[in-house]
Structure 1
Amino acid sequence: MKRRIGLRLRVLLLFAGFAVLLLAGSGLSLWAEARRLPGEVMASGDTLDVLIRTGVIQFFGILTGTAVLWLLVDHHIVQPIEGLAGSLRTCRPPDVMRARYLGDLGPAIADAVEERSRTQEALDEAVAAQGAELQREKETLESIFADFGAGAIMADSKGRVIFYNAAAARFLPGLALDRKLSSQIAPAVIEAALARLETGAGATDLACLAHDGMRLSGRIRHIGENILLILQERLSSGSAPHEALEALRRHAATLVPMLDALDGPIPQDLAQAIRAEGQGLAATARQLTDSMTGGAAVARAMPHELVAGLTLRDDLPQQAVRAEAASMNALLRFLNGRLSDEVGTPWVQARMTGQSELHLLLEWKGKALPVDRLDEWLSERPDPGQPDLTGAEILAAHETGIWPESDPSGSRLVLPLQVLGAADDAVGLTYDFGLASRGGSSLRLGDLTCVVFDTETTGLEDSDRMVQIAGLRIARGRLTGESFETLVNPGRAIPPRATAIHGISDAMVADAPGPDMALTSFHHFAQDAVLVAHNAPFDMGMLRNTGMGPDFDNRVLDTVLLSVMIWGGSVSHTLDALAERLGIVIPPEKRHTAMGDARATAEIFLSLIPALEAKGITRFEDVRAEARKHRRLIRDVNGSRS
């Protein structure tokens, strides 16, 4: 695409041409003066010296005067004009003081931007009012499909995923919008099923294996040119020995309270070993139950739902757990009431044990609760909504237990709950039906599938290591809700000055995956997507220069470079400056976290796309061409790749 030269370069060339004309005129005048003088005068060395000195003075005087004049015009006129143009394209208020030498142009553009903003707000309100009923219907359908139980996936005619729900994400963790369905299910299985549909069948069965070996079965059908696939885990023909599993779970859960019932002292290390073994047995039983019951839909709740109405000592982790909120809250309120009658009002705390289990604690000051007393309480029916279930049966349904503990700091009841991972905690629905109508080879910025990412590191040198990486997926100009986030063990100590910035300590990354595993997971998440980062050379260096993990050959966009294309190089292009210029708020507690900065970068990127398109930069290759003009300011990390 042929592009015109920028305003600053035009003005510079204009002044350069003006200087050349002045120098030529000065030279001609000196030449004419020399021709006019008699020969005997010119033969005098003094006259020639005077002419030469005059020429040198005029030469440097013209260059200096022209340069100073150009600098004044560039600073007070040209750069403010570029800033006003950027404000118009992004619909953000301009810096009127910076444009004070442009007369009424600055205030006029400020008024135009304000009027455009009011018009846009009025239009948005009208569209929102007209679409309110449609949105309610959409949310109703989303709720139905989100809790559908079975996995639902829709792909377009080219096999690209355009819709999936949370159950499908649990079955196939690698699912992502605009990614080939054949990357998750064997292509031969899909091709065979489609061939059966071509014979005229309205729908047909299929069976397949997920990457982790899970057996899946389902039905596939055509919906227009798209295909809809409904998947469920394929149950084994044998029935699970539930009674044996329950006995195993109860036995494991009682190991810990047995410690308190032992007569005589017991070594602390032995007590910890027995407790760890009991927790391990309970977790193993839970996994065995999952594997034999087909991984049915898992009840999901946040800790604050479970302890509603109880006294909190500290904030609870914002981490979903495997629990049915109503029955578990009823049980905890019941136990809280019994404890209040006997030992005083307890309070609730929580502690994480590793990354897979959360312990809810009902704590109090005083003597420990006897195990037989707890068993009496658990034999009662605490939930009015389910009067047929005892407390023990509620715990059994959750595949967990509860036990008393006591130490010099106080006594407590401990309730372990399974922490749901990223796949279990997936958003209800992820879809973009517009992907089906998009050209497969489209390179328009608004059509690109991108992953916006950010890293936190041990420092700012090339030799430093990542300690956290996070990414968000964008498809067709909107955030899809798909995300990736993990801490990374850098294999070295994190300097205190780095921890002071991002808050990540050595203890936090002790159990985190290493760079190779973290990068492999992120590479899978970002597969086939354009990577977007703020100051991409640094972040891409963290991905490419580790000497381990996969090769990131993705195309790359840099929001710093995109900002320079809109506002020029005379303004600040830091993340905070861009966010302020575009009216994007970064919560202070999220700043300098990988996910917080990635989300801010994503919002900035989406805000820059309309401004770039207004300048005629509509495709990825247009960005590459424009980047060459700014290579002295910032490096294009795409290099020479086509």
Structure 2
Amino acid sequence: MVDKLSLRIRIFLFFAALAGGVLIAIGAGFFAAMRRVTDPDVINVLVIQDFISGFLGLGIIAWVWFLFDIHVAKAIEGLAGAIRARAHADVDGEIDRDHARYLGDLAPAASAAVMTLAETRNALAESVARETTRIANDKLKLEALLSDVPLAVLLCTGRHHLAFYNGVAQEVLDAGKAHLGLDRNLFDFLRDGPVRQAHARLMKTDSPDAATEFICTTQTGNRRLAARMRLVGEGTPEAPCYVLTLRDVTAELALHGRQEALLNEVFERVRPPVAALQTARTALNGEAGAVETLVPALESLTGTIDELGERFEATRTDGWPLAPVRSEDLAARLARRLSARGLTSEQVADPLTLRCNAFDVVALMEHLGRRVDAALGGAALSVAVRRDAPGASLHLGWQGAAVGEGDLASWLEEPLDEGDSSL
């Protein structure tokens, strides 16, 4: 309770206790003398003496308290208030030393400390202003440099919030009501599955220069983006920041798709007539000499088509923006999409690292799995990724009747449902 009292009150209580002690001492001396003296005249002299001693003692104590209160207690409180004002407010004046002249070297020491604090505060403010200006200039230079980069560049925090982006990113990701802005969630613009998985893969690596590539899509689904992610040295070990570069490959993928479909159609339409000619030549062998003249040309045509077909199969993935993915991750993604549709499946995968468009592959196999389940009524599905030199094969199996070629062809002609953001 005493700690809550002001300094002046505590000093007053101290002197009050001292005055009370003096009165008690005088009273104790008076009663001790009364027990030994019986003469009334002497008793009267003792009473007068004790009254005079008491009043003089109280007067001296009151006078000392008054001087102590004015020149010490009040001065200390004033000095404390001046220090507090200069510590929390913008006060530049020196402390008035006249009010604290009885405190010895305390006032000059406090004044020197306050001046040092003010100088340090000003130096810190100037340093912060310089660094802020430098950072702003660096930011403008970085924006000017990145404005000429044809790729979308984003700096994201470990919580996947935007900390920086260039103008190309704004053009690529702005869509509908969601407009790019600082501290916006990246997943307001991109589907989160590929980004989270790439971030998790990089956090498991020990190399600070490691980077990973993948394919992602915008939330609206109308853009396909080839992405490259690299961790940067800021953030927390649990959620480091990262730089994400994006390239719009929507038109490129569409062009590759049309070209591949055209070449595939050429081989599919040419091979049956050539096979029919081979069959006819075999049936007419030896019956007409004119047929024999067609044999070299027919064999040459057959060999040319087979060679071109092999070259087409070997190079059909060239130019596609393929990203590396582990076979276990590919099988797990497909199993998750099937599970999201209420379908159970078992997955087995050889330990492989594949280069493929995992998004489209998983979407296609999930589409076929749903069609098989609908056709066979709750078939138990299985997913397997097997080594198939020089590449790999993805198998979708089930227990039940086989699917006809006509049904499979019609399923492949249907549009894919790519709305799942878990890829």
Q: TM over 0.5: same fold? A: no
| Structure ranking higher in helix proportion | 2
**Larger RCO of the pair (alpha carbons < 8 Å, separation 6+):** 1
Give the TM-score taking structure 1 as reference length.
0.25
Give the TM-score taking structure 2 as reference length.
0.34
